[in-house]
Structure formats: C-alpha cells, structure tokens
Chain A
Amino acid sequence: MRLFHYWFALWGIVSRELLRFVKQKERFLSALVRPLIWLFVFAAGFRAALGIAIIPPYETYILYEVYITPGLIGMIQLFNGMQSSLSMVYDREMGSMRILLVSPLPRWYLLLSKLLAGVFVSILQVYVFLGIAWFYEIQAPLEGYLWLLPALVLSGLMLGALGLLLSSFIKQLENFAGVMNFVIFPMFFMSTALYPLWKLQESSEWLYKLAEYNPFSQAVEFLRFALYAQFNQQAFIYTAVAFALFLILAIIGYNPSKGMMQRKGR
C-alpha cells in the first residue's frame, strides 16, 4: 500500500460523509437547531440562575448562555458522534459497509478515516453555531476560536470513537433509541455542560463524582478552556486517554474474528 492509497481512502470516506451532510439539508438544520434551542430558550430561562462564583477559565461574572455554550458545542459533537454511529449501523444493514471493509487497507485506518470524516462535519456545525452565538453577544476572545479547532478535533474523535464503539454493539437501526436513553442523555445531563461541578456538588456528592469522571465533562471542559485561549491539561489527558480506549475497543469490536459482529452472526 502506498501513501496515495491511504489518502485516497480517507478522501473517499470524508467526501462521502460531506456529501451526505450537504445533501441532507434537514440534517444540517436539525443539528444546528438543537443547540440553538438550548441556547435561546433553555438558557434564557436560567439567565441569572448560576449564582455567584467565578470559576476558571472565566475571570468575571457570566450569563448562563455564556456558560452553556461550550457544553452545547460538546452536545453538537456528541450527537454527531452518535449520528455517525447510526449511519454505520445503517451502512451495515444496507450492505455498503461490506464494500468499505473489503478494502485492502487496514481496518483501523478505515475506522479512523470514518471518525475523521464525522469530526470534520461536526467542526463545520460548531463554527456555524458559534457564528450565530456571536451575534447573540456570546463572544469569546478571538484567539480562542483558533485554539478551539485542535480541541474540537480531539473531543470530536473521542465522542466519535464512543459512537463507533456503540455501533459495533447495535444490531439494528431500531435499537438506536436505546443509545439515546442510555448513553446520550445520561452523558449530557451528568456533565459540566449545563451546570458547573460545584453546583452539582451542592445537591449530590455521587452525582458530582459521576459528572467529574464523565468523559463528556472532560471534553466539554477541554473545549471551554480552549475557547478562552487556555489549556486544561487534566481535561486534555483525560479526553485523549478516553479516545484511545474507545478507539481500541471499537477496532476490536469491528474485528470479525474477535468482535461483536461475529457474535451477532451477520
């Protein structure tokens, strides 16, 4: 295999994902509408509900909208990761997965390409979302938008790898509702996306612990600091390790000789 082949495969997968994304205008719209509803409706109701406490990376008092914006960026990526896992299940059902997997390139590479394709799409969504938020007076320092990019790649990969891992377990498209209930919602609500850790600690110690060790929380914190041009080392390490772990498990999951696919007897 030459480098060219790798590049060609990556391009093929990314462009397919992009094409799917561009063709399905409703999907782009819905991916955007979801966080915007949270921002304009949900956050508006809780405007001043955060109480008094200045937590890093913030240096002064902030409105609730400002607080949840990084959480909503995480939400975009979380849903995107799950969406691409959903499309994996669909591909498997429709048979196009076989075409992908018979390629002579290593399987891990194909999966990683698939992940990168998903991340690329999510980054587009995030920046459009932030663009709209800018006009709503949610404005981070300009350099923060630059620092956010590498952070988005890592957090997107991590959440995408999680989706990939889940997709290796899901046999049919119909089971995806279970993923919503058992993965997306708990991950999102038990995280720092909507409320800071100290607020959770006030109400429940175990909820606080769950939120603290939730990889989604760590990804959100990593994004939050990056958006304010700061580097959160702990969140970075945690997110990177979670990514590696999910990816390895997903690769094992997609290995026909060991993984879940064989067990399901497809």
Chain B
Amino acid sequence: MIVRTLISTALLIQSLAVSAETVFVSLEKDNAIAVVDPIAGKLIKTVPIGQRPRGIQLSPDAQTLYVATSDDDTVLVLDANTLAEKARLPSGEDPETFALNSLGTRMYVSNEDDNQVTVIDLQTKQAIQAIAVGVEPEGIAVSPDNQWIVSASETTNMVHWIDAKTHEIKANTLVDPRPRALSFTADGQQLWVTSEIDGTLMIIDVATKEISQRVHFAVPGVGKEKIQPVGVVVDNKRQWAYVALGPANRVAVVNAQSYAVEKYLLVGARVWNLAFSPEQQRLYTTNGVSHDISIIDLAEHKVTKSIAVGRYPWGVAVKP
C-alpha cells in the first residue's frame, strides 16, 4: 500500500514537473520581465530588469536567460531559475533581436542603428567581431547545423547569408519589403521569412537561397493594411507554421507542407512574437497593444486563454 502511494506520488510529482513550464515575457514599457505560469494561467511575478527589454531567449540548456535591454545598450545574462543578473554582454548599440547557435557558445546581435551584426563569444563574454550588413538589420537566425547566420535588413529588403566560420556574407536574397522575422525549419532545408509591408510570408530554399514559395494572407473583415506579419515559427515535424499578423490581431495557421493558410486565430492586439511550449503542444503570443499574451492549443488550433502581463509585451521565451 505504502509502495503504491509512493509510486503514485512520484508519478504525480513527475507529471507536475512535466507540465510546469515557465513563460518569460519581456515588457518593453514596464522595463521588466513577466513570469507566467501558463498551465495555471497566471502571472506569477514581474521583475524589473533594465531599459526597454525586447529580444529574449533561453540558452540551449535552459539555465540562462538572455534579454536585450535596448536602451541600456546591452544584453543581460540572467540565471533562468532566480533571474539574478550574472553578466552584461557587449552587444553594441540598441540591441533588439539576437540569435544563439545550437551549442550555446555564440550570440549574434542585430544592431539596427549601426547596420551591423555583433558576434559575441558567450564563454569569454567578449564581442569578437562586428559584421557590416544592410540597412536596419532586425530578424536574425542561425541554421540548425550552425553553418549559416542569416540577418534580415528591414530597409535593404535583403536576407544576408553569413558564413558562421568566416563571418563573411556569402550570399544575399532579395525579399519583399521590410522583412521582420526569420525562422529555419528543424531540418535546416528552409528559411521562413515575413514581410511586414507586403504582408507576405516567403519560404526560401536554403540550398539555392531563392524564394520557393510565397504565402499571402487575407483575414475576413480586416483591412489589408493591417496585415503586417512579424513573428514566424515552424514546428519540428514541419507540419504547421504560425505567423503573427501584427495589428490584424490574428495568428495565421499555415500548413507547412501545402503552404495553404488553414485558419486565422483571434488573439490580442498587435501580436508580434511567438514561442512554442517545450513539447510544441502550445504556442504563446505577445500582444503588444492589449498588454497580454495568448495561449494557443496546437492540437485543436484554438486560443484557450489570454493573460494580462504588463505594458507592451514584446518577446517570449519558454523554460521547460
């Protein structure tokens, strides 16, 4: 009997541990990070952090949280468990977004004002190089095999392919106006790019570096000018992709095999960034103008809850 109780308790604890993911949201106007328990659907706490936090990501081992505090001109290194500051990285001016390689050894930061990408060695915490790119770099990503760093220039309307070993631009892909976010598929064969002004989603073939597909969006009852795609994520099986449509207040559900837009899910106002839960059962969205995040159940493709988090939620990272 005792053994059985022990086993069931252990199982219970394990199931709790599995479901107990934590969502970190950077709050651009509150200069803070919101910590959310998405299972309970509650804001746990808000932690003041630095001026204008935007880009936010966890290290591959989920023990370190990186937050770009744009107006402090740095990327903060925080303990993901305690949120205590461990270091500040020399990110260059006005860091907004950044990307990590899969080993967690390098960080690549977009410096919008200086038209460059800063490379930081995360072991020595030193900036080792600044790579000149097009005007207003924003979206940045590293290919799953760590071969390519891709940087999207909002004004040049290009995706730059930077060799991760030599830090040289090897190729450029001309894309639709104002590219915002980039996302590699898990197999590394495709790069998904959003264009804010044209309201399109482009799928670039990594081998040829050319656009192979273009997806258009049309939300019934919403003006075309409001459809401004920003965040894009593709699930590991490359079955579904999700695109945040900004002021259209919708997340588009795209079939990643047929490239058909299957559904538009209503979320909060001005949805920008997206993040999966660890097992990709849920998707979290930051809704800047309505000051909340929405939770989407990916099995059903339904928005289950929206949770108020604070002023201007920008980025989101999910800790298992």
Q: Which residues of A contact B (CB under 8 A)?
A: 44, 47-48, 52, 54, 59-63, 139
- In the assembled complex, the Cα of A62 lies from the Cα of B266 at a distance in Å of 7
Determine which residue in B221, B294, B306 has the highest number of CB atoms from chain A within 10 A of its CB, and name it. Answer: B221
* Nearest CB on A from B251, distance (A): 11
A-contacting residues, B193-226, CB 8 Å: 220-222
- The reply to whether B294 and A60 contact each other, CB–CB distance below 8 Å, is yes
A45 to B, closest residue via Cβ: B221
- The reply to whether A61 and B294 contact each other, CB–CB distance below 8 Å, is yes
Assuming A47-B221, A48-B221, A52-B290, is B305 touching A60 (CB within 8 A)?
yes
- In the assembled complex, the Cα of A59 lies from the Cα of B266 at a distance in Å of 12
19 A/B residue pairs, CB under 8 Å, sorted by A = A44-B221, A48-B221, A52-B269, A52-B290, A59-B306, A60-B266, A60-B267, A60-B294, A60-B295, A60-B303, A60-B304, A60-B305, A60-B306, A61-B266, A61-B267, A61-B268, A61-B294, A63-B266, A139-B302
**Chain A contacts of B305 at CB under 8 A?**
59-60
Determine which residue in A44, A60, A62 has the highest number of CB atoms from chain B within 10 A of its CB, and name it. Answer: A60
Q: Which residues of B contact A (CB under 8 A)?
A: 41, 220-222, 249, 266-269, 290, 294-295, 302-306
**Chain B contacts of A62 at CB under 8 A?**
266
**Chain B contacts of A54 at CB under 8 A?**
306
B294 to A, closest residue via Cβ: A60
- The reply to whether B220 and A59 contact each other, CB–CB distance below 8 Å, is no
Given contacts A47-B221, A54-B306, A139-B302, 12 further A-B contacts (CB under 8 A): A48-B221, A48-B222, A52-B290, A59-B41, A59-B305, A60-B266, A60-B303, A60-B304, A61-B249, A61-B303, A61-B306, A62-B266
B300 to A, closest residue via Cβ: A139
Assuming A48-B221, A48-B222, A52-B269, is B304 touching A59 (CB within 8 A)?
yes
- In the assembled complex, the Cα of A63 lies from the Cα of B250 at a distance in Å of 11
**Chain B contacts of A59 at CB under 8 A?**
41, 304-306
* Nearest CB on A from B40, distance (A): 13
**Chain A contacts of B222 at CB under 8 A?**
48
B266 to A, closest residue via Cβ: A61
A64 to B, closest residue via Cβ: B221
**Chain A contacts of B302 at CB under 8 A?**
139
* Nearest CB on A from B302, distance (A): 8
A66 to B, closest residue via Cβ: B266
* Nearest CB on B from A134, distance (A): 13
- The reply to whether A52 and B41 contact each other, CB–CB distance below 8 Å, is no
* Nearest CB on A from B184, distance (A): 30
**Chain B contacts of A47 at CB under 8 A?**
220-221
- In the assembled complex, the Cα of A47 lies from the Cα of B219 at a distance in Å of 11
- In the assembled complex, the Cα of A37 lies from the Cα of B230 at a distance in Å of 36
- In the assembled complex, the Cα of A61 lies from the Cα of B291 at a distance in Å of 13
**Chain A contacts of B41 at CB under 8 A?**
59
- In the assembled complex, the Cα of A52 lies from the Cα of B291 at a distance in Å of 11
* Nearest CB on B from A180, distance (A): 31
* Nearest CB on B from A243, distance (A): 34
* Nearest CB on B from A158, distance (A): 32
- In the assembled complex, the Cα of A47 lies from the Cα of B222 at a distance in Å of 9
* Nearest CB on A from B35, distance (A): 20
**Chain A contacts of B221 at CB under 8 A?**
44, 47-48
* Nearest CB on B from A213, distance (A): 30
- The reply to whether B268 and A52 contact each other, CB–CB distance below 8 Å, is yes
A46 to B, closest residue via Cβ: B221
- In the assembled complex, the Cα of A59 lies from the Cα of B294 at a distance in Å of 10
- In the assembled complex, the Cα of A48 lies from the Cα of B269 at a distance in Å of 11
A49 to B, closest residue via Cβ: B221
**Chain A contacts of B268 at CB under 8 A?**
52, 61
- In the assembled complex, the Cα of A46 lies from the Cα of B305 at a distance in Å of 22
